């Protein structure tokens, strides 16, 4: 106690913490402000993370919900015997092979009569999917007596038409208060419509304003690039385009030609529709899309100008298709229905026909292989390590190995599958068997770790009790410890399976990425799985496939939520505190 006597009680006095001085008060306020800030940071981090998740889910759901629906034309069609069963033998093979597309087209021609010309007919038929007659075929096969009758059926629309109907970005403006008397020169083909007032003056002004705005935008882009040091060569095209536009909008307002980069204008007159190609304030020249009933004069207000605000070049559906579709919609023939076929068909090049059944079945087959391998192997390995393994180098090596393996990137497992299973053992490419093998190796560490934790949580007293009545160590483990650890093992296994279900990268390596229409029926057949299907679709340019991708993601997430929910339920139900 030398230092105590030396300095203990007599050591220099330490100041006592003061709280009443202004300085101390300020200091305390500062400390509490920093306390508050810190807490806010923590809360903000959680809030940002939650926002991320909500953004992700809402973006997927908003894109995906339309993907579960499909627009169809619901109408009566004549099941023309001449098109499907000309010889009248009525057997299933003939009925199956019949040309139902032709019947669907005939029904469409009936709905919008009078369409002449190859090009227009093609546009009209283009609204229909290549599988438009499939529903009718099923109906006829189910009831062959329908041949020759009129049947109410649904005709599938092509994806462009379908997406157009789901997408609200194209607005159609109708100008109904027309002031002059309009006189068309014909009912089909190229026509001119003379108008008794300056009905189109406003339109021309509008078009010029648009051209001007566009030119300004191009000039701005040129300036930006110049500022970043782009050479004059690279800007030439843009400059020329801007100059062209300037010439157009600076010209006197006598006549204006419309192109696909400005909003389209159409004239609805005498029951028909004319697409405007050129206009002056008092007349338009254009092309008839839906034939006019007559060339009679149309009184002011009985004819209309329609503007498709989104330029044709920015749309997947051109003016003709759009006009036909609007006509069908006006007749009340178009319906948006839940697309059950999404769950009952395989992949297709046509977005409206593509479904996820093949991928779902592929996922199920793959997961069956995975669980069949990794559940027994994982549990037995866990039992060995937890119960029987001697404390030696080998055991240590295995343990380090398992922990490291759990963190190896999944794509490396794909390389393993490619090199070992495909190239060394010559197993079939793209098969659920190989996919299941690779995923089993991938989730094995997870299952071993979870099973070990479950085994460890069983108290030693259970083991000792079994040993005490003369059971062998193995009997004690298999009869008493393992059953008690089973809920924990199942929870871990379900979580591992959920992980395997969402895994994509290693399956790409072993070729489960092929375009496969057929639903797989065996473990060695080429197949794909749900996440890979999502990846494949997400790469396709059609907007309809984007919707299908999001819809497939919703299905995948729903399955994952159910699996994780099941795991949580299991854990809650069997949770036992020893």
Look up residue 542 and give its DSSP letter. Answer: -
User: Alpha-carbon distance 458 to 484, whole Å?
Assistant: 7
Q: Specify burial of residue 420 (Cβ count, 10 A radius: 0-12, 13-18, 19+).
A: middle
Name the minimum Å distance from CB 552 to another protein: 10
Name the minimum Å distance from CB 262 to another protein: 23
Please answer whether residues 398 and 380 qualify as being in contact, where contact means their C-beta atoms are separated by less than 8 angstroms: no
In sequence order, what are the residues at sequence separation of 6 or more whose Cβ sits closer than 8 angstroms to the Cβ of residue 51?
none
Phi/psi of residue 256, nearest 5 degrees: -135, 130
Name the minimum Å distance from CB 436 to another protein: 14
Q: Specify burial of residue 286 (Cβ count, 10 A radius: 0-12, 13-18, 19+).
A: buried
Phi/psi of residue 277, nearest 5 degrees: -110, -30
Look up residue 145 and give its DSSP letter. Answer: G
Q: How many residues can be counted in the chain?
A: 578
Name the minimum Å distance from CB 68 to another protein: 17
Looking at the Cβ atoms of 300 and 428, the one nearer to another protein is 428
Q: How far is CA 183 from the centre of its chain?
A: 48
Name the minimum Å distance from CB 78 to another protein: 40
List C-alpha distances in Å: 153 to 78, 125, 139, 549.
10, 17, 8, 28
- State both tokens at 225: 């690039």
Looking at the Cβ atoms of 150 and 572, the one nearer to another protein is 572
Dihedral angle computed from the Cα positions of residues 73, 76, 80 and 84, in that order, rounded to the nearest 10 degrees:
40
Name the minimum Å distance from CB 478 to another protein: 9
Name the minimum Å distance from CB 351 to another protein: 16
Please answer whether residues 440 and 374 qualify as being in contact, where contact means their C-beta atoms are separated by less than 8 angstroms: yes
Looking at the Cβ atoms of 102 and 471, the one nearer to another protein is 471
User: Alpha-carbon distance 455 to 241, whole Å?
Assistant: 74
Q: Specify burial of residue 145 (Cβ count, 10 A radius: 0-12, 13-18, 19+).
A: exposed
Looking at the Cβ atoms of 43 and 340, the one nearer to another protein is 43
Q: Which residues pair with 334 in a beta bridge?
A: 73
Rg of the chain, C-alpha, whole Å: 36
Looking at the Cβ atoms of 59 and 260, the one nearer to another protein is 59
- Quickly list H helices, 87-200: 92-97, 100-111, 118-125, 134-142, 159-166
Looking at the Cβ atoms of 333 and 444, the one nearer to another protein is 444
Name the minimum Å distance from CB 463 to another protein: 16
Q: Mind giving me the DSSP string for 296-326? A: --B-TTTSEEEEESS-GGG-SS-HHHHHHHH
Name the minimum Å distance from CB 557 to another protein: 7
Please answer whether residues 532 and 439 qualify as being in contact, where contact means their C-beta atoms are separated by less than 8 angstroms: no
Q: Specify burial of residue 412 (Cβ count, 10 A radius: 0-12, 13-18, 19+).
A: middle
Looking at the Cβ atoms of 197 and 505, the one nearer to another protein is 505
Looking at the Cβ atoms of 2 and 254, the one nearer to another protein is 2
Looking at the Cβ atoms of 322 and 365, the one nearer to another protein is 365
Looking at the Cβ atoms of 332 and 390, the one nearer to another protein is 390
Nearest Cα residue to 402 out of 435, 374, 363, 428: 374
Name the minimum Å distance from CB 222 to another protein: 14
List C-alpha distances in Å: 20 to 17, 32, 358.
10, 16, 76
Looking at the Cβ atoms of 232 and 470, the one nearer to another protein is 470
Name the minimum Å distance from CB 406 to another protein: 8
Looking at the Cβ atoms of 98 and 445, the one nearer to another protein is 445
User: Alpha-carbon distance 9 to 281, whole Å?
Assistant: 107
Name the minimum Å distance from CB 483 to another protein: 17
Looking at the Cβ atoms of 291 and 417, the one nearer to another protein is 417
Name the minimum Å distance from CB 420 to another protein: 5
């Amino acid at each position: 106690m030398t230092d105590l006597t030396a300095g203990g009680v007599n050591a220099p006095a330490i100041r006592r913490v003061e709280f009443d001085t202004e300085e101390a008060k300020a200091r305390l306020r500062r400390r509490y402000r920093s306390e508050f800030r810190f807490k806010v940071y923590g809360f903000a981090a959680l809030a940002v993370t939650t926002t991320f998740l909500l953004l992700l889910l809402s973006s997927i759901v908003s894109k995906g919900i339309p993907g579960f629906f499909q627009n169809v034309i619901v109408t009566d069609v004549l099941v023309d015997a001449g098109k499907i069963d000309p010889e009248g033998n009525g057997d299933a093979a003939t009925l199956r092979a019949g040309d139902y597309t032709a019947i669907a087209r005939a029904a469409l021609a009936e709905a919008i009569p009078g369409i002449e010309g190859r090009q227009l007919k093609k546009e009209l038929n283009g609204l229909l999917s290549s599988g438009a007659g499939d529903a009718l075929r099923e109906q006829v096969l189910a009831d062959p007596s329908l041949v020759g009758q009129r049947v109410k059926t649904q005709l599938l629309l092509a994806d462009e038409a379908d997406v157009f109907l789901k997408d609200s970005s194209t607005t159609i403006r109708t100008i109904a208060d027309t002031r002059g008397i309009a006189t068309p020169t014909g009912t089909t083909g190229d026509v001119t419509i003379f108008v008794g007032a300056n009905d189109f003056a406003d339109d021309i002004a509008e078009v010029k304003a648009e051209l001007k705005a566009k030119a300004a935008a191009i000039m701005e882009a040129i300036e930006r690039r110049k500022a970043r040091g782009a050479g004059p060569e690279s800007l030439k095209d843009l400059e020329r385009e801007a100059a062209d536009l300037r010439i157009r909008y600076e010209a006197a307002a006598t006549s204006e030609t419309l192109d696909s980069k400005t909003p389209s204008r159409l004239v609805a007159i005498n029951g028909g529709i004319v697409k405007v190609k050129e206009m002056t304030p008092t007349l338009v020249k254009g092309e008839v899309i839906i034939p006019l009933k007559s060339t009679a004069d149309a009184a002011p207000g009985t004819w209309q100008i329609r503007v498709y605000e989104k330029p044709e070049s920015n749309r997947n559906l051109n003016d003709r298709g759009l006009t036909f579709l609007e006509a069908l919609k006006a007749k009340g023939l178009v319906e948006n229905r839940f697309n059950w076929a999404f769950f009952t068909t395989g992949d297709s090049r046509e977005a409206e026909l593509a479904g996820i059944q093949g991928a779902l079945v592929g996922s199920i087959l793959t997961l069956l292989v995975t669980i069949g391998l990794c559940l027994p192997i994982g549990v037995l390995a866990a039992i060995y390590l937890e119960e029987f393994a001697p404390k030696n180098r080998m055991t240590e090596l295995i343990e380090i190995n398992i922990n490291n393996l759990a963190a190896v990137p999944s794509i490396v497992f794909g390389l393993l599958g490619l090199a070992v299973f495909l190239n060394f053992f010559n197993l079939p490419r793209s098969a659920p068997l190989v996919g299941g093998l690779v995923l089993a190796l991938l989730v094995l560490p997870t299952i071993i770790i979870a099973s070990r934790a479950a085994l460890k949580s069983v108290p030693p007293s259970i083991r000792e009790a079994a040993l005490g009545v003369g059971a062998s160590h193995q009997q004690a483990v298999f009869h008493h410890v393992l059953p008690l650890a089973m809920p924990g093992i199942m929870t871990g296994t379900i979580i591992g399976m959920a992980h395997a279900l969402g895994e994509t990268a290693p399956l790409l390596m072993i070729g489960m990425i092929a375009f496969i229409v057929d639903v797989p029926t065996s473990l060695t057949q080429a197949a794909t799985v749900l996440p890979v299907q999502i990846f494949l679709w997400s790469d396709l340019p059609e907007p309809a496939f984007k919707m299908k991708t999001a819809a497939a993601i919703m299905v995948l997430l729903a399955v994952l939520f159910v699996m994780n929910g099941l795991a949580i339920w299991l854990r809650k139900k069997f949770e036992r505190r020893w």
